[in-house]
Structure 1
């Protein structure tokens, strides 16, 4: 319990600091799209513990994170991932697809395509 803190709303700099200090990121909603916080946590090389939702499988598998399942304690499984090279691979994956720069380039390309005469 002493290693868990609920820190509330944070500004961008504080948010990055907490991701850098964190090893495990938990997001277990009953329904959701991909949240920015999941992508931020992947980029910060946190172990993801996510609900078993369709969108979860777009970003991780049982080999690259922890997908909540009733018969498994997700935190015990997450701890096993903490020193894994999979975390840096997750970072590379999310950075290649969902980084701010990548998103800007996709937007600019789309804008150029739809603005052609």
Structure 2
């Protein structure tokens, strides 16, 4: 796996035992979790090809964003995913991805003075 990771455009920062620490570009938030890297490796290694098949439809939920944040976050989106329990490991992955999106693509924006 360590030999394949650079072909995904990822840099190996540290290798200790059976663990790798990688650096990814903020332009590839799909690689911010080990799940995303695993999906990329599946395609690269020929295990599974193509996009993940998702059933997408309009839901019953809506987003209400306060207008006071429109200059910081002019666009907002969300997803309600069903069919899988959220255990501690998955929750940590989701939080990590959200923080990376905020720091990278969101540029770590905070409230204006």
TM over 0.5: no
Higher helix share: 1
Structure of higher RCO (CA pairs closer than 8 Å, 6+ residues apart): 2
What's the TM-score, normalizing by structure 2?
0.28
User: What TM-score do you get using the length of structure 1 for normalisation?
Assistant: 0.27
Q: Which of 1 and 2 has greater Rg?
A: 2
